[in-house]
Amino acid sequence: MQKGYFCLVLHSHLPFVRHPEYEDFLEEDWLYEAITETYIPLIWVYEKLLEDKVDFRVTMSLSPTLISMLTDGLLQARYLKHLNKLIELAHKEVERTRWQPEFQSLAITYLNNFCRARETFERFKRNLTLAFKNIQDAGKLEIITCAATHGYFPLMEVCPESIRAQTKVAVNQYERVFGRKPQGIWLPECGYVPGSDEILKEVGLRYFFTDSHGVLHGTPRPKYGVFAPVYCKKTGIACFGRDLESSKQVWSSVEGYPGDHDYREFYRDIGFDLDYEYIKPYIHPDGVRINTGIKYYRITGSENKQPYNFEAAREKAASHAGNFMFNRERQIEYLFDFMKRKPIIVSPYDAELFGHWWYEGPMWLDFLFRKFAFDQNIIKMITPSEYLFENPRNQAITPSLSSWGWKGYSEIWLQGPNDWIYRHLHEASFKMTELAKSFPSADGLLRRALNQALRELLLAQSSDWAFILSTGTHTSYAIKRTKDHLLRFLRLYEDVKANSIDIQWLADVESKDNLFPDLDYRLHQ
Amino acid sequence: MLRKIRERLKSISQKDKNASLSDVNKKPVSKSITEKLFGRKTAKKETAKPKEEILGTQETIVRKTKFYTGQITKAVRMMPQELPIGYGVNRIIIQVRDPRWIHSYWEVTSDTWNRLRDELCDEFYKAKRVLRVYDVSYIVFDGSNANSFFDVEINDYSNNWYVDTQGPGKSWCVDLGLLLPGGRFITIVRSNTVTTPIEGPCWITDEEWMIPEEMFARLYGIGFGLGRSSPIGKAWQERIKRQLFSGALASPSSPMQKPKERKFWLVVNTELIVYGATEPDAAVFVQDKPIQLRPDGTFTLRFALPNGKQVIPVKAISADKEEERKITPIVNKETK
């Protein structure tokens, strides 16, 4: 007998990093690694499930910046170049490890996977959003949107116009790419501030997610805790709270599954391990060693790392999937008994956790989907839309300000190393609102300048920059991006006000920060 | 790393600039030398030239106009590298950091400071700069009806401040102002209003959605990962509990874990390079596997070399398959 629901949510996001002005740009690798290690392996999992006619459900956000990069011609070409280099290296590795069969079998697997990734990439004409669209159209995947550039809403409370622009730009892009309206949104960093749901309502979104305490600390007290969604008072937008127990099983780097000794060690990469002269063509052109993605060791549990074994890792992933499902079954049975209503367990994760950080993650997901479909009948996998259709009656409360960041609120994005950015970000927001008001219907060059001003503002608002600043390491790029976009914005503002737009400079900036081609500056109101 | 790249780029572009500058400098010098030496000859050539027009010059001039949109008279504007220090406004903004703390930042123009200095004369220098933090929960604040307020003294040079409100679940508004020796407070600028979230579950329950206290406590615990079905060990649960009761909800948004700082260490690996050459059109086999030759007939192979004996027969067969050569290096590796 079915006693409850399980809703798996994967949040995929990378900030917009695209530097046509450089031949090779280190931070662009964030995208390339995520494509090879997460997005393509996830597509493989979904496609195989479809092929095997396994009924599964997954909810996935694709952030608008990620969609912009996945559909960008330059980055697509660069990814292919990156992948070809990787394939070349894997060929060499197969040769080099000839006398070490335990490593050679790994090198061969990497080579095959990379070649298969290239085949997949080319099958979708380099545009991976099409792959996700297919799975959504097949009814198994619900793609949700995110804010345009992953701006963190609670720290935009003084400029709701920016929250509105972040949301509307995202929804417009979603409709263009997926040919339908998004039902839900992943609030960046799971950051919710009461009142922002009014903007979600304006654009026709029906639900979002918060961390556990967003619902648990809501007013009035939520009867079912996080095991039923709540509607926001006034707006009626549904809010699903995260279940921490299931989250920790995967998230925790100490007790969670990814730390298992049979799983692949993230920090032992041949980019660092092998002879410098040999590896040089495959690391950064500057000569700095970086990860290549070819890793031969398992976590092991001691300093003396043992060679990785695909078969052992696969078996462990299967058993962990079994364990995860078993625990959800017990959790659901327990909750159902005293809630007298079918509970829903919502488990959101960063998509990049699967594959990139936890190499076996996609495999684990594959086992999990299959086990849920065939090995039990207590829990139904569901998307939020389906849940709301089946269970339309829910309590109305006001969720609490919250995020899923360190300490649960805004501290990670508002502390010593990054608090200086807000006086500039807010000022730019105020100025953008002023521009949108002063030019209710601009044309031609003026319109281009105004649109670009909004693009620059949005790019400066990415929560990723504040996050990187808070970590205190490799901050120069985050500082540069924050400043560059704000300075470009300020110049556009001045040029527009002075009616002296420099067309060449504008064209140059447009060609660099080229996301959201159909953007309309009037969305910032 | 980026900085390195940038610095390198900068030094390169500077070199280029220097180079081109020196080119420019050189030219006139060399010209003057040539003029000195061959003055007459060059002069003759130059005067002779204009008479005959080089073929296509005129066409090129005309064609160029097709791509000419107007003279660029404006000097190229340099992009500033730093953000402005201020925007010429009087403003204070406050934001919620967590249930207890709010962050405030402000800007006051020098005009405003000067006006205050003029108006207050001596008192200005004796006044303290303070943030007056008003509790404005459940009211429409008009400047005088706050539930309560407290002052935070700030120094003259700061432009932002974290304030411990001690009060989760309340609404706050902050004035930046001067507290005069006589106790009079002068507001310079007033902030927006924010509301801090409550720190635990709300005490208000909904009649229609009532739940017994004890049951909610259980749901609350499970929601935070204290459920009895958790297989992930006591240690984690204890940690969550500690964090729960200390008010800190740790949920790492990045799973990155840095490798342990190692003490002194040493890693030694060995690789073997096998290289050679033959006729470019020959077929070469190493340990019976065909290998690719470079266009000049050379080849290089690189192997990770484990302990033990490696027998590496290298065989070359001529293109017409008439001839064959075989050389077999044998390598013994041991590690002590």
Contact of A355 with chain B, judged by CB distance below 8 Å, is answered with no
Across the interface, whether the CB atoms of B204 and A221 are under 8 A apart is answered yes
Contact of B217 with chain A, judged by CB distance below 8 Å, is answered with no
Interface test with B, best of A6, A108, A221 (most B CBs within 10 A): A221
Contact of A399 with chain B, judged by CB distance below 8 Å, is answered with no
- Chain B environment of A486 (Cβ under 8 Å): 83
A120: pLDDT strictly greater than 50: yes
**Intra-chain end-to-end CA distance of chain B, in Å:** 38
What is the torsion angle, in degrees rounded to the nearest 10, for the CA atoms of residue B122, residue B123, residue B129 and residue B132? Answer: -160
Share of chain B above pLDDT 70, in %: 65
> How many angstroms separate the CA atoms of B26 and B16, rounded?
15
Decide if B171 contacts B195 (C-beta within 8 A).
yes
Say which residues have a Cβ less than 8 Å from residue B117's Cβ, sequence separation at least 6. B124
Tokens, residue B229: 């079905």
Q: What confidence tier does B173 reach under pLDDT thresholds 50, 70, 90?
A: very high
Closest CA to A325 of B228, B221, B229: B229
Q: Are residues B126 and B191 in the same domain?
A: yes
Q: What confidence tier does B42 reach under pLDDT thresholds 50, 70, 90?
A: very low
pLDDT at residue number B312:
93
Contact of B266 with chain A, judged by CB distance below 8 Å, is answered with no
Q: Which amino acid is at B20?
A: S
Q: Are residues B179 and B231 in the same domain?
A: no
Tokens, residue A455: 């693009």
B259: pLDDT strictly greater than 80: no
pLDDT at residue number B208:
84
Q: Are residues B187 and B121 in the same domain?
A: yes
Domains of chain A, first to last: 4-71+127-264+308-407 (3.20.110.10), 414-523 (1.20.1430.10)
A524: pLDDT strictly greater than 80: yes
Q: Are residues B106 and B191 in the same domain?
A: yes
Contact of A235 with chain B, judged by CB distance below 8 Å, is answered with no
Q: Are residues B113 and B169 in the same domain?
A: yes
Across the interface, whether the CB atoms of A275 and B255 are under 8 A apart is answered no
Q: Based on the number of CB atoms within 10 Å of its own CB, is A253 exposed (0-12), middle (13-18) or buried (19 or more)?
A: middle
Say which residues have a Cβ less than 8 Å from residue B298's Cβ, sequence separation at least 6. B275, B276, B277
Cβ atoms within 10 A of the Cβ of B120, count?
16
CB-nearest partner of B236 from A99, A189, A255: A255
What is chain A's mean pLDDT, rounded? 95
What is the torsion angle, in degrees rounded to the nearest 10, for the CA atoms of residue B280, residue B283, residue B288 and residue B293? Answer: 30
Residue B5 falls inside a structural domain: yes
pLDDT at residue number A302:
83
Which of B:98-117 have CB within 8 Å of A? 98-99, 101, 103, 105, 107
Across the interface, whether the CB atoms of B205 and A422 are under 8 A apart is answered no
Residue B265 falls inside a structural domain: no
A471: pLDDT strictly greater than 90: no
Across the interface, whether the CB atoms of A395 and B208 are under 8 A apart is answered yes
Taking CA atoms, A330 is separated from A216, A246, B39, B219, B229, in Å, by 22, 12, 101, 14, 6
Q: What is the pLDDT of residues A322-343, one digit of tens each?
A: 999 999 999 999 999 989 999 9
Residue B77 falls inside a structural domain: no
What's the CATH number where B173 sits? 2.60.40.10
Q: Are residues B130 and B174 in the same domain?
A: yes
B256: pLDDT strictly greater than 50: no
B63: pLDDT strictly greater than 70: no
pLDDT at residue number A433:
98
> Is the alpha carbon torsion for A114, A120, A124, A125 positive or negative?
positive
How many domains does chain B contain in total?
Answer: 4
Interface test with A, best of B82, B174, B209 (most A CBs within 10 A): B209
Interface test with B, best of A14, A94, A99, A345 (most B CBs within 10 A): A99
Q: What is the pLDDT of residues A63-75, one digit of tens each?
A: 999 999 999 999 9
To the nearest whole Å, the CA of B208 is away from the closest chain A CA by: 9
B38: pLDDT strictly greater than 60: no
pLDDT at residue number A38:
97
Contact of A374 with chain B, judged by CB distance below 8 Å, is answered with no
Tokens, residue B236: 């984690």
pLDDT at residue number B205:
85
Contact of B75 with chain A, judged by CB distance below 8 Å, is answered with no
Across the interface, whether the CB atoms of A223 and B252 are under 8 A apart is answered no
Across the interface, whether the CB atoms of A357 and B218 are under 8 A apart is answered no
Average pLDDT over residues B246-264: 46
Which of B:178-197 have CB within 8 Å of A? 192, 194-197
A412: pLDDT strictly greater than 60: yes
Q: What confidence tier does B267 reach under pLDDT thresholds 50, 70, 90?
A: confident
Residues forming a β-bridge with B150: B133
Q: Are residues B183 and B224 in the same domain?
A: no
Average pLDDT over residues A174-188: 98
pLDDT at residue number B130:
97
Q: Are residues B127 and B165 in the same domain?
A: yes
Contact of A491 with chain B, judged by CB distance below 8 Å, is answered with yes
Q: What confidence tier does B142 reach under pLDDT thresholds 50, 70, 90?
A: very high
B236: pLDDT strictly greater than 50: no
CB-nearest partner of A487 from B79, B96, B226: B79
To the nearest whole Å, the CA of A22 is away from the closest chain B CA by: 10
pLDDT at residue number A260:
92
Residue A13, SS3?
A: coil
Tokens, residue B143: 């400047």
Average pLDDT over residues A433-459: 97
CB-nearest partner of A253 from B224, B255, B262: B255
Residue B240 falls inside a structural domain: yes
Residue B309 falls inside a structural domain: yes
- Chain B environment of A477 (Cβ under 8 Å): 2
Across the interface, whether the CB atoms of A256 and B232 are under 8 A apart is answered yes
* Residues spanned by the domain of B8: 1-42
Higher-confidence residue of B77 and A2: namely A2
B47: pLDDT strictly greater than 70: no
pLDDT at residue number B72:
40
> How many angstroms separate the CA atoms of A205 and A188, rounded?
15
Decide if A272 contacts A289 (C-beta within 8 A).
yes
Nearest Cα residue in chain A from B267: A273
Residue B112 falls inside a structural domain: yes
pLDDT at residue number B8:
52
Q: Are residues B98 and B191 in the same domain?
A: yes
Q: What is the pLDDT of residues A371-386, one digit of tens each?
A: 999 999 999 999 999 9
B333: pLDDT strictly greater than 90: yes
Average pLDDT over residues A194-221: 96
Helices (H), chain B: 2-48, 57-65, 110-120, 122-126, 213-223, 234-245
Cβ atoms within 10 A of the Cβ of A98, count?
19
pLDDT at residue number A450:
98
Contact of B332 with chain A, judged by CB distance below 8 Å, is answered with no
Over the Cα atoms of chain B, what is R_g? 40
Rounded to the nearest 5°, which phi and psi values hold at B215? -70, -40
Q: What confidence tier does B217 reach under pLDDT thresholds 50, 70, 90?
A: confident
Q: Are residues B118 and B185 in the same domain?
A: yes
Average pLDDT over residues B204-233: 68
pLDDT at residue number B74:
44
Q: What ipTM does the predicted assembly reach?
A: 0.93
Which of A:35-64 have CB within 8 Å of B? none
Residue B325 falls inside a structural domain: yes
Contact of B93 with chain A, judged by CB distance below 8 Å, is answered with yes
Average pLDDT over residues A467-493: 94
Q: Are residues B111 and B181 in the same domain?
A: yes
Taking CA atoms, B225 is separated from A383, A401, B266, in Å, by 22, 20, 42
pLDDT at residue number B76:
52
- Chain B environment of A26 (Cβ under 8 Å): 1-2
Rounded to the nearest 5°, which phi and psi values hold at B154? -120, 165
Higher-confidence residue of A245 and A13: namely A13
Average pLDDT over residues A20-46: 95
DSSP string, A94-139: HHHTTT-HHHHHHHHHHHHHHHHHHHHHHHTTT-THHHHHHHHHTT
CB-nearest partner of A477 from B2, B231, B232: B2
Residue B97 falls inside a structural domain: yes
Nearest Cα residue in chain B from A224: B219
pLDDT at residue number B7:
52
Across the interface, whether the CB atoms of A221 and B202 are under 8 A apart is answered yes
Residue A449, SS3?
A: helix
- Chain A environment of B79 (Cβ under 8 Å): 487-488, 491
Q: What confidence tier does A244 reach under pLDDT thresholds 50, 70, 90?
A: confident
Contact of A414 with chain B, judged by CB distance below 8 Å, is answered with yes
- Chain A environment of B255 (Cβ under 8 Å): 251, 253, 258, 350, 353, 357-358
Interface test with A, best of B97, B239, B260, B302 (most A CBs within 10 A): B97
To the nearest whole Å, the CA of A220 is away from the closest chain B CA by: 5
pLDDT at residue number B29:
38
Q: What is the pLDDT of residues A350-359, one digit of tens each?
A: 999 999 989 9
pLDDT at residue number B264:
86
Nearest Cα residue in chain B from A255: B232
Answering whether pTM is above 0.90, one says no
Q: Are residues B130 and B225 in the same domain?
A: no
Contact of B287 with chain A, judged by CB distance below 8 Å, is answered with yes
Average pLDDT over residues A112-135: 98
Q: What is the pLDDT of residues A275-297, one digit of tens each?
A: 999 999 999 888 889 999 999 99
Place of tokens 């808070």: A470
Which of B:121-180 have CB within 8 Å of A? 159-160
Contact of B198 with chain A, judged by CB distance below 8 Å, is answered with yes
